[in-house]
Structure formats: C-alpha cells, structure tokens
Amino acid sequence: MSRIYLVPIHLNAPEWLGRLRACIEKTFGIRAKCCSFPIDLPAAFDPARNQYSSSLILQQLIANPPADARKILGITDVDLFIPILTYVFGEAQLDGIGAVVSLHRLKNRFYGLPEDNDLMVERLMKESVHELGHTFGLFHCAWFGCALNASTYVEDIDQKSCELCPDCRNAIGLA
C-alpha cells in the first residue's frame, strides 16, 4: 500500500504532527506516515541571503524514496527561498513525488505578533495540502477558498481553507 511520507526536518517530535497527518489522510484519502530522513540542512544554506534553498532540500528529500512512498512532504522551520524570489512558503514538484514546506513565515512571531500555535498549525495544514496538491499535478486554483489558491502573503493563507475545491478534487479523481 502506498503512503504519503511526512518528514520533519531537524524538528524534534512536534506535537502537531498528528493533526497534520489526519488532515492529509482526510484530504487525499491516502494513509500518511511520519518518519525521518537524513537531510543535510547546512548544505542548502546560502550565507549571502541567510536563507535555505528549498530546491536543494527537495533534492535531498526525494533522492532515495521508500518503495511504498506515493509522496514525500518535508517540513522545516527554516526560511526558504528560490533564486528569483525573496522567499517561498514551500516548493513542490509538479506531478512529482516531493514537496517541502516551511513553518518559518507561518508563525506569528515572524511578523512581530503574539505566538498562536493553533493558527500556525492551521496554516501549515493549508500549505501542506497546497504543496502536495501540486505533486498530484494540480495548478494554482482561482477559487479563493481552495487550498490550491496561490498565497504569497500569510494573510492570503488565512483566507483560504485546507480543503480542495470540487474542481481540484475532481481533477485528481477524489470527487
């Protein structure tokens, strides 16, 4: 039976992992499993930008996938970037196996606001569904409430849900 692997990257047994797993299983109808992969985070560090390359993390994440891995989602709390953009919340292979999301800009603390753990987990679930959606071949969706709606600011993430809209569900055979 194939699975979606959830891989915390240098995170010690986060308490929210169970909620995230349940959300992903419910959304995609596929069993999810938490496990750890050896990821060399410093290798993805760019000292000039003081950020981590999401592409380099993704490369390591998908280098040796388990035989039963349908998808692999890495979760990190470092600040991610791709070369052309100042930051990204995550990166995914379109119609591929791997995706990575970052908690860094999902935390209220980053914006100088009081910490809100529940809100952060909500955001993480939305972005995880978003990036995994891309690995199933989904493009950005025009529906505001859909998890695949493109979010460039954290406020955008707060506007959408962690659910896929009927069109996106239909597109990946979940309808």
Binding stretches for another protein (CB under 8 A): 49, 55, 81-88, 91-92, 94, 134, 139-140, 150, 152-153
Residue 14 or 55: which CB sits closer to another protein? 55
The one catalytic residue among 127, 131, 155, 163: 131
Task: Please name the residues in contact with 168: beta carbons below 8 A apart, sequence gap of 6 or more.
Answer: 133, 138, 141, 143, 146, 147, 148
CB of 49 to another protein, least distance (A): 8
Active site residue 131: yes
Cα torsion angle, 21, 4, 129, 52, sign: positive
Nearer to another protein, 37 or 87 (CB): 87
CB of 62 to another protein, least distance (A): 14
Cα 90-95-101 angle, rounded to 5 deg: 15
Nearer to another protein, 22 or 82 (CB): 82
- Round to whole Å and give the CA distance between 92 and 58: 8
Catalytic residues: 131
